[in-house]
Amino acid sequence: MQRVLLGIDRFSSLVGQTFAWSILVLTFTVAYEVFVRYVFLAPTTWGYDVSYMLYGTLFMMAGAYTLSRNGHVRGDFLYRMLAPRRQATLDLVLYFLFFFPGIIAFMVSGWFYFADSYRQNERSMFSPSGPVIWPFKFLIPLVGFLLLLQGIVEVVRCIQCIRAGAWPQRLHDVEELEAQILAEAEAKGIEAAAAEFTQRDERAGDQQDGR
C-alpha cells in the first residue's frame, strides 16, 4: 500500500514539476511583449492570451503536486497543536465534507465547459489573433481528476494515521531538505556554543584553583 501511495505521489510530482517549466516560457513571453511594445512600439497580437493561459496552466497543474507535499495553505494555528490522530480525524472529515464534493463538482462542470468549447472550436476574443482556447479549458477536468486521485491518497494516509497514531511517510522536496540542513547547522551552532561555555567554565575553575 505504501508503495502505491508513494507511486501516486511521484506521478503528481512529475506532473507538477513538468508544468513548472511553463514559468520560464511565461517569463520570456512577458519580457518579449514588454520589449517590443515599448522599444519598437509594436505590441504582439498573442502576448496577452499566451500569458494568461500559461499562468493558468502553471497554477492549476501544480495543485495535486502541492497536495502530495501537504503544502496547501491551512489555518493551522490550532491544528498543529493536536495529536496526529486528531489531525487525521479532522482531515478525514473535511475531505468528505468539502474536498470531494467540491472537486467532483469542479471536474464534472469543467468537463461540460470544455465540451461546449470544443464543439464550437472556441477562440479567444481578447486579441486579434484569436487562438483556440478549448485545449486550455480541457485542463479543468484534467486537474479535477488529478486532485481527486491525490485526495484519495491523502484519505488513505488519514486512515493509516488514525490506526497507527503517526503520519505515514510521504515524499520530501528540496525545500524540506534545505530546512533540515538549516536545523542541523543550528544544532551544530548550539553544540559549539555549549562547548565554548564549558571551556570557559573550566578555565574559570582552573584560575580559581590557581588562586
Residues 178 and 164 in one domain: no
What is the model's pLDDT at position 23?
Answer: 93
What is the model's pLDDT at position 129?
Answer: 80
Q: Number of structural domains, the chain?
A: 2
Residues 56 and 121 in one domain: yes
Residues 40 and 136 in one domain: yes
Site of grid cell 497543536: 81
Q: What is the pLDDT along the chain (211 residues), one digit of tens a residue?
A: 788 888 999 999 999 999 999 999 999 999 999 999 999 989 898 889 999 999 999 989 999 999 998 878 777 778 888 899 999 999 999 999 999 999 999 999 999 999 999 999 999 888 888 889 999 999 999 999 999 999 999 999 999 999 998 988 887 665 555 556 656 666 666 555 555 556 655 565 555 555 5
- Tell me the C-alpha distance between 55 and 42, whole Å: 23
156 CB-near residues (< 8 Å, 6+ apart): 1, 5
Q: Is the pTM of this model over 0.95?
A: no
Residues 32 and 56 in one domain: yes
For residue 203, what is its C-alpha cell? 578555565
Q: Which domain holds residue 31?
A: 2-171
Residues 9 and 72 in one domain: yes
What is the model's pLDDT at position 69?
Answer: 86
Residues 72 and 118 in one domain: yes
Sign of the C-alpha dihedral, residues 183, 79, 9, 17? negative
What is the model's pLDDT at position 195?
Answer: 59
Cβ pair 96, 151 in contact under 8 A: no
For residue 74, what is its C-alpha cell? 491551512
- Tell me the C-alpha distance between 100 and 147, whole Å: 9
Residues 188 and 120 in one domain: no
Three-state secondary-structure class, residue 123? strand
Residues 157 and 186 in one domain: no
12 CB-near residues (< 8 Å, 6+ apart): 64, 65, 67, 68, 146, 149, 150
Q: How many residues does the chain have?
A: 211
Helical pair 134-164 and 84-94, crossing angle rounded to 10 deg? 140
Residues 105 and 204 in one domain: no
What is the model's pLDDT at position 171?
Answer: 75
What is the model's pLDDT at position 78?
Answer: 80
- Tell me the C-alpha distance between 1 and 147, whole Å: 19
Phi, psi (rounded to 5 degrees) for 132: -65, 140
Residues 153 and 185 in one domain: no
Residues 30 and 90 in one domain: yes
Q: What is the DSSP string of 130-171?
A: --B-HHHHHHHHHHHHHHHHHHHHHHHHHHHHHHHSSPPP--
- Tell me the C-alpha distance between 48 and 125, whole Å: 11
Query: 3-state DSSP: the chain helix, strand, coil percent, rounded to 5?
Result: 80, 0, 20
Residues 92 and 12 in one domain: yes
